[in-house]
Structure 1
Amino acid sequence: MIAVVVVLGLAVGVALGALGGGGSILTVPALVYAVGLDPVAATTGSLVVVGVTTLVGSLAHLRAGRVRVLHGVVFGLLGVGGAVVGSLLSASVPPGVLLVAFSALMLVVAGLMTRRRRAAARTDGAARPVEDQPRPLAPVGLRPLRCDCRAVGALLLSATAVGVLTGFFGVGGGFAVVPALVLVLRLPMPVAVGTSQVVIAINSASALTSRVGQDVAVPWGVVAGFTVVAVVGSLIGARLTSRVRPEVLSRAFTVLLVVVALYTGVRSVAELV
């Protein structure tokens, strides 16, 4: 069991550190099929792994000036309600159905990563989009939160949706948080990536808190060990980005994600039938 936890924790951590958003989505399948947790316990334990790992990862972004703390806190707090609702829904859904939904989510993430990779290839060598251009990181206040009903509505909707996603599936949801921060709060892409770590940490903590009173049996010792190893793996993964081309890492992870999604979906559907 210890060897399995170490290997899988490192794999999840490396993926998270090297790829950022989407990298932690393998945590739940790993805890279910390799460690032997039931889906509800696995999604609960995943919240610990995701929350702690992203919190540690945010320190590097903070030192580099890529975190708008105030924006991240506001977005994260607005998603607390969604995270609580997602947690309650997850506990009430049959395990087989939860895993089928999770396999569908993995396929969606794989599709988004493929689309992002192809878009990056098309713009390679060309001028970067406006949101990717370096901008001064001086405090800008809460400009996106001015009294604009459409902007406020989009902010509430996107924050709640991200919260529900985190609470229901026990994933960080970086693949949804980053685009939301870019489109809704108009943050530059590098800053959105760094700020998303704050949002994920808040959503994970609130979703985990809402599950404390539920009857969920989680082997916290195993989850703690998995988390520690994942943090180490994330630091290793961050170093890989300077030695291996990002598109190679992304392509390999996408293939792995599709394989795990199909395996999870087939097993879950067979159990439901």
Structure 2
Amino acid sequence: MSTLILALIAGAVAGLALGALGGGGSMLAVPALIYLLGFTPATATTAALIIVTITTLTALFAHARAGNVRWKAGAAFAAAGIMPAAAAGAVAPHLPQPLLTAAFAVIAAVSAAGMLRPARVPVSAGAGTGTDAPVVSPGKAAGTGAGLGALTGLLGVGGGFLAVPALVTVLAFEMQAAVGTSLLVIAVNSLASLATRGATATGLDWALIAPFTGAAILGAWDGKRLASKVSGPHLKRAFGIMLLAVAAFMLIDALV
């Protein structure tokens, strides 16, 4: 199978995850870029950031039209991650490749475990109101946002798999608003990380990145429609199983 076809298939699957779940796209994009398309871990994380940023912005537009984005709270949450994302993005290219692979595998496993765990609906006075008012201290929200930013910068992951539950539990968003707002957080963090990754942005194979991105954009739109038709828990379980297998493979590869 040609690398172009592999790029299209991988892009579609990554976009589907992003559009349906508000995250998880980069968790599938990075291993696909490494093991299917021959990127190094450093260039794969940079390429994934480019792909996820463009795809996220298109998905954000769709969710904004549907009224699922809480702009004020989302911007404040994302702002806390800008500096950590930029700093981690500058450090990441200088780390050993096996270390990056192993760290990514661990985060992917944590993400998969979160997807496979039965969802808990938080009981809060602010839940489901559609307001921007946080129900916990601003310090906790800022700390969570900073952690997501650092993760994005270091491993090239958008962080939506953590942003969605964080927005649900920390800011008491309803699920649809959490998914839509997470896209804003992902876009801001990814752009901040890309700004400091100039060294790994040179020499990227755009002939593969472009079709990967195009397929991811189409997949994200299909994912949004899929999310409205298929049970959320079923979607999360399917992607969780897939992601757990990917994490196990990457961890073995990094350690052997």
Give the TM-score, by structure 1 length.
Answer: 0.84
Identical residues among aligned pairs (%): 39
Alignment of 1:1-273 (within 5 A): 1-115=3-117, 118-119=118-119, 129-130=123-124, 134-136=128-130, 144=134, 151-213=137-199, 217-270=203-256
Gap change, CA 1:132 and 1:11, over 3 Å in 2: farther
Gap change, CA 1:131 and 1:13, over 3 Å in 2: farther
AA matched with 1:246: G
Contact 1:132-1:190 within 8 A present in 2 as well: no
**Equivalent residues, number:** 254
AA matched with 1:119: A
Q: d(CA) in 2 for partners of 1:242 and 1:6?
A: 24
Farther-moved stretch of structure 1 (213-222 vs 42-51): 213-222
The Cα offsets for residues 87-146 of structure 1, whole Å up to 9 and x where unpaired, read as 12311211111101111111100111112xx236xx7xxxx8447954255xx5xx549x
Q: d(CA) in 2 for partners of 1:164 and 1:190?
A: 25
Contact 1:62-1:194 within 8 A present in 2 as well: yes
Q: d(CA) in 1 for partners of 2:113 and 2:255?
A: 21
Gap change, CA 1:244 and 1:216, over 3 Å in 2: same
Gaps of 5+ in 1: none
SS of equivalent to 2:67? coil
Q: d(CA) in 1 for partners of 2:58 and 2:125?
A: 26
Give the TM-score, by structure 2 length.
Answer: 0.89
Runs (4+) off by over 6 Å: none
The Cα offsets for residues 30-79 of structure 1, whole Å up to 9 and x where unpaired, read as 00000100000000011111111111111222122221212222222221
Contact 2:46-2:201 within 8 A present in 1 as well: no
Root-mean-square deviation (Å)? 2.4
Shift in Å, 1:219 = 1.7
Shift in Å, 1:187 = 3.4
Give the structure with higher Rg (CA). 1
AA matched with 1:87: G
AA matched with 1:7: I
Q: d(CA) in 2 for partners of 1:245 and 1:153?
A: 34
Gap change, CA 1:81 and 1:246, over 3 Å in 2: same
Q: d(CA) in 2 for partners of 1:136 and 1:39?
A: 39
